[in-house]
Chains A and B, each alone.
Chain A
Amino acid sequence: MSKAIVRPDEETLVSLLQQGEAQAFNTLYDNYSPALYGILLKIVKVEEEAEDLLQEAFLKIQANIYRYDRSRGTLFTFMLNITRNLAIDRLRSAGHINRQKTDNSDSYVHIPDSQTSDLQHEYIGLAETVEKLKPEQRRLIDLAYFQGYTQTEISEEYDIPLGTVKTRMRAAIQTLRKLLTN
């Protein structure tokens, strides 16, 4: 699973970041920018906007790194939350969020250019694994994880009983866990 991806020792990285070490920025960027950029693309859908948000996200991560607390999750989750919230704020402030719009990101295909294909290669295995999730399970996880919808909001938006949303969310994540551990 995620261990296949080379990750630096988080604690050391965080302390170097807090000291403003240039090399730490480099590592941070190399390790996390593809994941964050991919998520931004999924949320805002427009490359230009995703690039802009990626810059903002890294600066905000840098400014808030002192808040990072290992006991509350991994560095990646910390970064993901900052990035996701920036993107969601952008969408909502711009007023172009359309909550009823069906998220067809399941079929979102990004054709990597030649420069990024090597990098992309590392994640192909993961992407293929995730493809095995049912579309509605992916949609559910996308809504919550990427778009920041609470389970209550999903229940209201899609007119599904809250209990059912919880059950389905749990099932989707369980399936994801199994897929990733295999």
Chain B
Amino acid sequence: MLPADYISSGLTEAYALGLTNPQETAEMEAAMLQYPEVAAEVEAIRSALEGYARAHSQAPPANLKNKILARMQAAADEAKLKSVSDTGQAEPANTVPAGLITNIPQDGQAKKTETPAFISSNGGMPPTQAAATEGAKVRSINAPAIPPVTTETSFLPLLIAASVLLMLSLGTNLYLYSSLGTAQQQLAEASKRNSVLAQENDVHLTNFHSAEAEISRAHRQMAMINDMETKKIKLAGFPVSPTSAVMVYYNPKVHKAMLNVMSLPEVGPEEDYQLWAMVDGKPMDMGVIHADHDMHEMDIPPTIKAEAFAITMEKKGGSPVPTLTKIYVMGKVS
């Protein structure tokens, strides 16, 4: 929309009346930022409306003023007390004596003066406090009208400055103390994180070492398989388990064999598979093997020359002689 559109749309009035929804409010505020003429229009409408509101002014009953001021004072004291107790520092609240509220001049008197009620109704204040307040703050509001009130109170600025510095210092201490707490907490968290990381690192290191071992084992096995002297023997399934198959890599020169179990039925808890080497037509115990699919490495006694290999299922721990009815696989060394 163009500035003129905002102005003629009725949105300007609605906004100045405080009746726009959040979306319209955002739209108007953006338009006011963008177009000074829209902002000026809103300001003019607002000012006219304020005049309209003031035209309806009615003085509230005189006794209401003390009541309201007392309640506002109480609320302010409560807020101050709260902020003071938060700092753990007992500072006497610099409140106006109750006398002030009852000593306020009649409204008429207060209003006739050119200066706002601010000053004229100061009458009930103790002189030092009134001077302090006027000297420090109020004068800026009514600069033209009020003569400076500083003659007999030259130590007051120092006092005020000292109080301000004290408060600042207390505030800083509080801030630093809470920062220290935060820092300590962060440190504790960081060292906790650190030990967690160290543990993780240990795990990674272990994994790394086992991976390394895995690789070197794979290299060794590969070397063995690729060795010219290594014989590759397929042990085929027997009637007990026709689909079973085990590959044996046998190297008579280095007296080693590797078993790769392709397929063997799971053994029960009371059973084990046992490898036998046929030497001169007799089975020789080569030990118990585990029917997993990993390469199973074993040493073969250097004195023997295996003609065939067989695997039987035996009782747990193996048997001195093979159970012939339980030969699962067998294959000849070619």
B58 touches A110 (CB 8 A): yes
Instruction: Specify which chain B residues have a CB less than 8 angstroms from the CB of A1 in the assembled complex.
Output: 47-48, 51
* A-side interface mostly: helix
B59 touches A120 (CB 8 A): yes
A22 touches B95 (CB 8 A): yes
- Interfacial residues of chain A within 133-150, with CB under 8 A of chain B in the complex: 141, 144-146, 148-150
> Closest CB-CB distance, A14 to chain B, in whole Å?
11
> Closest CB-CB distance, B115 to chain A, in whole Å?
8
A169-B13, A173-B48 known; A9-B57 Cβ under 8 A: no
| Residue of B18, B29, B104, B112 touching A81 (CB-CB under 8 A) | B18
A25 touches B19 (CB 8 A): no
A118 touches B112 (CB 8 A): yes
A-B Cβ contacts below 8 A, count: 221
Question: What residue in chain A is nearest B59 (Cβ atoms)?
Answer: A116
> Closest CB-CB distance, A167 to chain B, in whole Å?
8
Instruction: Specify which chain B residues have a CB less than 8 angstroms from the CB of A5 in the assembled complex.
Output: 54
A25 touches B69 (CB 8 A): yes
Indicate if B90 sits at the interface (CB-CB under 8 A).
no
| Residue of B48, B122, B140 touching A23 (CB-CB under 8 A) | B122
Most buried by B among A1, A58, A80, A127: A58
Number of interface residues of B (CB under 8 A): 65
B10 touches A31 (CB 8 A): no
Q: In the complex, A30→B72 CA distance in Å?
A: 14
Indicate if B324 sits at the interface (CB-CB under 8 A).
no
Instruction: Specify which chain A residues have a CB less than 8 angstroms from the CB of B104 in the assembled complex.
Output: 26
- Interface residues of chain B, those whose CB is within 8 Å of chain A, are 8-10, 13-14, 16-19, 29, 44-62, 64-65, 67-69, 71-73, 75-77, 79-80, 95-96, 100, 104, 106-108, 110-112, 114-118, 121-122, 133, 137-138, 140-142
- Can you name 11 extra interface pairs (CB under 8 A) apart from A12-B141, A116-B58, A173-B13? A12-B140, A20-B79, A23-B96, A37-B57, A38-B56, A51-B60, A55-B68, A59-B68, A123-B57, A145-B53, A180-B47
A–B pairs, 27, beta carbons within 8 Å: A6-B115, A8-B118, A8-B142, A21-B133, A22-B69, A26-B117, A30-B110, A30-B121, A37-B60, A42-B56, A55-B64, A62-B76, A74-B46, A76-B53, A117-B108, A122-B57, A126-B57, A129-B51, A144-B13, A144-B14, A144-B19, A151-B10, A151-B14, A151-B19, A166-B13, A173-B45, A180-B52
